[in-house]
Amino acid sequence: MWWDDDEPMAPADAINFKTTHWSVVVRAGQEHATDSAAALEKLCRTYWPPIYAFIRRKGHDVHAAQDLTQGFFAALLEKNQLGIADPHRGRFRNFLLGSVTHFLANEWKHAHRLKRGGLCDFVSLSDESVAEPLTTPSQDITPEAAFDRRWAESLVSQALARLRAEMSSDEGRFDELKLFLLGAKGQASYAATAARLGLSEAAVKSAIHRLRQRFAELVRAEVANTVATQQEVEEELRYLLSILS
């Protein structure tokens, strides 16, 4: 897998806490910020899947969950809740989970009256990444667990997209090597991969090692976007890995 016990961790000083999801949400809550719309679009795209997953597991059908998810982000902006979000109060994941729980308890009727898309038009419901119904391996999963699972998957997906972008000059090699990041050990063959790429097995193993290191660094960076301190990075990263294991 992409994060093995023998893989070195990214250095602590590689993490930059100046730009995090907390800073994005603060900018989005500033009425006159020139980049608030872009910041809010980033926020919506990042957290639409886990919010939607949470609402679906609360028992709402696909269309109602889409309405409510769009309405939730619209309400955050309309009521300037983003402007009063405090990074010192805890993890951004917990802030959003508490906010959507409050929203469903107090304002779901208003959101349900909105047309699909409502006042929050930064995320298209035709986008498969946000519009598809939630599927889970267990029907007994709680809404909170569904949220956390989609949160973890979203962060890993973003890291994978960044890694693909970094290797855009050789996507064919990336597609071959990524199997060693996401698949179980032994699922992909070093020899077969080496043959397809025209490399030696030793060269393939070296490339995979570097790819795993970089992927781990990118996942760590994505986690760092959601917290405020190095200690919280370590805690959230352990939690993320426990969810995905």
Summarize pLDDT for 148-187 with one digit per residue, the tens.
999 899 889 889 999 999 998 888 899 999 988 876 556 6
Summarize pLDDT for 90-120 with one digit per residue, the tens.
677 888 888 899 889 876 555 555 544 444 4
pTM: 0.71
Specify the CATH number for the domain of residue 21.
Answer: 1.10.1740
pLDDT band at 12 (very low <50, low <70, confident <90, very high): very low
Give me the chain's average pLDDT, please: 75
236 falls within a domain: yes
Say if residue 225's pLDDT is above 50: yes
Q: For position 143, what pLDDT does the model report? A: 93
82 falls within a domain: yes
40 touches 77 (CB < 8 A) = yes
Domain range for residue 151?
140-245
Q: Burial code of 64-85, b = ≥16 C-beta within 10 A, e = fewer? A: bbbbbbbbbbbbbbeeebbbeb
> Which of 67, 85, 118 delimits the end of a domain?
118
110 falls within a domain: yes
Please name the residue ranges forming H helices in 167-200: 171-177, 179-182, 190-197
For residues 156 and 61, membership in a common domain is answered with no
For residues 148 and 76, membership in a common domain is answered with no
Say if residue 234's pLDDT is above 50: yes
- Sign of the Cα torsion 108, 30, 156, 16 reads negative
In the chain, the number of structural domains is: 2
